[in-house]
Structure 1
Amino acid sequence: MSARNSKANKAAARERLRQERERQAKKERTRRQLIVAGSTVLVLAVAGGIGYGVMQANKPGHWESAKDAKNVTAPRNTSGENGTTVVIGEPGAKKTLELYEDSRCPACAAFEQGAGKTLEKDVAEGKYKLKYIGATFIDNMDQGEGSKNALSALGAALDVSPEAFTEYKAALYSQKFHPQESEDKFAKDSYLLEVADSVPALKNNAAFKKNVEDGTFDAWAMKMSATFDKSGVEGTPTLKMDGKKVTVAGSDNAPETAAEYRTAIDKALKG
């Protein structure tokens, strides 16, 4: 082999090695660029996910939105601002009994089971009108939704008629249907509708069912709850006859039995 050929071969080999090194270097640069780009996309995706999660966490819930609603659909058979004045009974009745209740309240259930029928009879006879003020503070204490949801459903019953409202309220507080305070059964529309099946005017009532499931009166329920909050009343049940608290003699408690109620109301009517 000539020296010339040997030098040429070596030069060609060196060139091939140089070209191969350039190809490898270019390949490595491309790989690093792809890794950096992928990492950037991942970081942005994670950051975006965290940002979305924070945004969702800070987004007001359904009931908070209902509380702040500007447009409120009030049930029929109501009056006043946002329909939060609910008066049942003869318009000409001279006396007005204010009744403050929370649907999840066990003491309210005891009152309704013991004295509810007497109250209904008095209202029917025109002895006094009933002004109802619904509360939802138990939900706030127990992180639930049942008080609010039941109050909205009561609005749906009131939209049917005052009589349907009265019967449905009694059913919600009945021994058969009223849950333990720790059980948030009223948060379920299906359970509220089950209770409503015991009320003839509400059973198979498509409009009532739709209003419960659609939450038609959710904003109204929150406005009613705000009315309770502004009243200064601190617990339920609370009864006031023409603004004066009705209690069992010698105590600050609302009457529970029919006998206690009769005595306390008759005294309040005379006062």
Structure 2
Amino acid sequence: MSTRNSQSNKSAARERIRAERERQKKKDRIRRQLVVAISVVGVLAVAGGIGFAVLKANEPTAWEAAKEAKVIKPAHTQGKDGTEILIGDKNAKETLEVFEDVRCPACAAFEQSSGETLNKDIKDGRYKVRFTMYAFIDGNAGGEGSKNALSALGAALNVSPDAFLKYKSALYSAKFHPDEREDVYGKDSELLKVAAEVPELKNNNAFATAVEKGTYDPWAMRMADLFGRKGVRGTPTFMHGDKKLVMDQIPQQQMTQAQYSALANANFKKMIDKEFGPAKGAEAGKNDGKGGDKDKGEGKGIREGEKDPTREN
């Protein structure tokens, strides 16, 4: 091979190597640009995601929004925002106040042992009852079952006070009432399942729609805002005017559920008799004959314009 050809081959080889290096540099440059671009997009996406998350975090929850929303008062309520639930014979001279939270296990125990006695006293006109419903267990245990069940109780009260009492009893029943730590009543489906036990609410489309749409959520939040009313921060609590009523404690000893319920009901009756005097048989607390049985209440509660003797200024 001539020296000339040898030099020519070396020159061509060098050119190929140079060209290959240039191509590789170009590839590397493009790769770096793509990496930077993807990184920028990733950063923007993350930033956008963070921004969206921050925006969502700052958005009010449905219950926070309900707290500011316009209140639709259930029928058969009185007072500002309809937060006075007063049920019973308009002619009953006394008013017993009952403070409850739907998730409260002690309230469930009271309802299961003495709920029928309370409802009978209401029906007999022995006293009216003002129910103040709290939702503080949602804050203590987490969840929204107290508020959600309270909203559903508003829908039941809109049907009738009798439906309200029956539904409240069903929610507290041994069959349905959940452990305090379980937020079962946060689900509308569970509330509607319980409502099927109440004749006035079973297959009641208006009631079901109100529960599912949260029609009375704002009302429930106003009710929940009454926490601490008259200094009451625990449930169940019973008051007559400004006087807190106290039941005898049940002794710590082994007993059946039936024995416990019987003793708890006896203690409730004893407390009521001590405060309001003993019941006067089947005729206890009936009206004075002005208007007959139609004025016995039938779950109609206090009439419009009548002053609630326990209402605070």
TM class by smaller structure:
0.7 to 0.9
Query: Partner amino acid for 2:204?
Result: N
**How far did 1:224 drift?**
0.3
Aligned residue for 2:239, secondary structure, equals strand
**How far did 1:246 drift?**
1.4
Q: Which residue of 1 aligns with 2:63?
A: 63
**How far did 1:176 drift?**
1.8
Q: Aligned residues, how many?
A: 266
* Segment drifting more, 219-228 vs 200-209: 219-228
* Segment drifting more, 83-92 vs 152-161: 83-92
Query: Partner amino acid for 2:55?
Result: M
TM-score normalized with structure 1 length:
0.85
C-alpha distance in 2, partners of 1:168/1:161?
11
C-alpha distance in 2, partners of 1:16/1:184?
75
Residues 29, 161 of structure 1: alpha-carbon distance in 2 compared, 3 angstrom cutoff: same
Q: Which residue of 1 aligns with 2:5?
A: none
Q: Which residue of 2 aligns with 1:6?
A: none
Residue 178 (structure 1) aligned with residue 166 (structure 2): no
Q: Which residue of 2 aligns with 1:43?
A: 43
C-alpha distance in 2, partners of 1:73/1:190?
22
Unaligned runs of 5+ in 1: 1-9
Give 1:263's match in structure 2, choosing from 270, 278, 302.
270
Q: Which residue of 2 aligns with 1:7?
A: none
Aligned residues of 1:152 and 1:212 also touching (Cα < 8 A): yes
* Segment drifting more, 70-79 vs 156-165: 70-79
Query: Partner amino acid for 2:211?
Result: V
Q: Which residue of 2 aligns with 1:33?
A: 33
Matched residues, percent identical? 57
C-alpha distance in 2, partners of 1:101/1:142?
16
Aligned residue for 1:133, secondary structure, equals strand
* Segment drifting more, 235-244 vs 13-22: 13-22
C-alpha distance in 2, partners of 1:167/1:248?
24
**How far did 1:165 drift?**
0.2
C-alpha distance in 1, partners of 2:246/2:16?
105
Aligned residue for 2:100, secondary structure, equals strand
Unaligned runs of 5+ in 2: 1-9, 251-261, 278-313
**How far did 1:142 drift?**
1.0
Residues 129, 256 of structure 1: alpha-carbon distance in 2 compared, 3 angstrom cutoff: farther
Q: Which residue of 2 aligns with 1:89?
A: 88
Task: Tell me the C-alpha RMSD between the 2 structures.
Answer: 3.0
Q: Which residue of 2 aligns with 1:147?
A: 146
TM-score normalized with structure 2 length:
0.74
Aligned residues of 1:99 and 1:238 also touching (Cα < 8 A): yes
Q: Which residue of 2 aligns with 1:201?
A: 200
Q: 1:2-49, CA deviations, whole angstroms, 9 ceiling, x for partnerless residues?
A: xxxxxxxx9999999988877766665444333322221111111111
**How far did 1:242 drift?**
2.1
Aligned residue for 2:225, secondary structure, equals helix
C-alpha distance in 2, partners of 1:131/1:191?
26
C-alpha distance in 2, partners of 1:232/1:244?
11
Aligned residue for 1:175, secondary structure, equals coil
C-alpha distance in 1, partners of 2:246/2:14?
108
Query: Partner amino acid for 1:234?
Result: R
Aligned residues of 1:155 and 1:221 also touching (Cα < 8 A): yes
Q: Which residue of 1 aligns with 2:222?
A: 223
Residues 113, 14 of structure 1: alpha-carbon distance in 2 compared, 3 angstrom cutoff: closer
Q: Which residue of 2 aligns with 1:54?
A: 54
**How far did 1:243 drift?**
2.6
C-alpha distance in 1, partners of 2:119/2:130?
12
Q: Which residue of 2 aligns with 1:103?
A: 102
* Segment drifting more, 182-191 vs 28-37: 28-37
